[in-house]
Amino acid sequence: MIRGMRPVVVAANWKMNTTPADAGELARTIASRTRVQGVTRVICPPFVCLAAVRDALTESDPTVGVGAQDVHQELAGAYTGDISAPMLAGLADWVIVGHSERRRDHGETDDQIGGKLARAIEAGLRPILCVGEQLADREAGRAVDVAEGQLAGCLAEHDVDRLFTAGLVIAYEPVWAIGTGRTMVGSDAAAMAEAIRGSLAALGWGEAAGEVPILYGGSVTAANIGEFLAEPALDGALVGGASLKPEEMAGIVGRAGLTAAARLSAVP
């Protein structure tokens, strides 16, 4: 990593799609169609498909990271159906935490998400922390307050240096734009990324606030990624629905490669 140059990251969140029988082939196809210099690629399949995706990528393109979509905040115990960080050893090197669908469907709180972050970094997993407002919050002018509150709640107990060294990535995902086909205007997403950096600085992050990669997520496609990556404040995308389509991923990562090349050429 070049000091002062944030990496460009495209992470695929497959959500509850694919099976162990087809996930490896999809991962292999996406990897082969997104070989673009300078872009960090990550595929996050369902837990039961992690091994298939890991095996397919180890053999075809080990530069693509494998991520889990969640991790439990405890190490072990009576938590039926859940998966702990130690269980992910050898299966994943990234993990998404605090996705709005987990907050919505599993009632995850900022405090629990903070615990998930802690377990993730202890296990050597690189976390992607999701924050973002509901439509009502945006319409009421509270979008920044919501993201700020989520960051403060999730990061409260954390040591900045440890999280930064662990490679924390933040995904700003307005909930009303996820899976809806509605997207945000690029400049509004960039304003949120700047506000998030301001919140991190206020939480004592110092220079690291400017160095954390911030992704945009919310109905990103090959057709609209350019609008987001034209914004210097944004460092890539967390892609849901479109990430299951190799041609979409090829377009998204291809555009991300242009941003990565431009950043590299701007380094003195």
The residues annotated with a catalytic role in the active site are 99, 173
* Closer by beta carbon to ligand PEP, 235 or else 263: 235
**How many amino acids of this chain bind ligand PEP (CB under 6 A)?**
14
Report the alpha-carbon distance of residue 106 to residue 199 in Å, rounded: 26
Q: Which residues contact 111 (CB under 8 A, 6 or more apart)?
A: 153
Rounded to the nearest 5 percent, the helix, strand and coil shares of the chain are 45, 15, 40
Report the alpha-carbon distance of residue 197 to residue 191 in Å, rounded: 10
The 2-41 site mask, x for binding ligand PEP (CB under 6 A), equals: -----------x-x--------------------------
Q: Find the residue with minimal CB distance to ligand PEP.
A: 240
214 three-class SS:
strand
- Quick check: 137 binds ligand PEP (CB under 6 A)? no
Nearest distance in Å: CB 182, ligand PEP: 9
Report the alpha-carbon distance of residue 137 to residue 201 in Å, rounded: 23
Nearest distance in Å: CB 147, ligand PEP: 15
- Quick check: 217 binds ligand PEP (CB under 6 A)? yes
Please give the residue ranges that form the binding site for ligand PEP (CB under 6 A). 13, 15, 173, 178-179, 217-220, 238-242
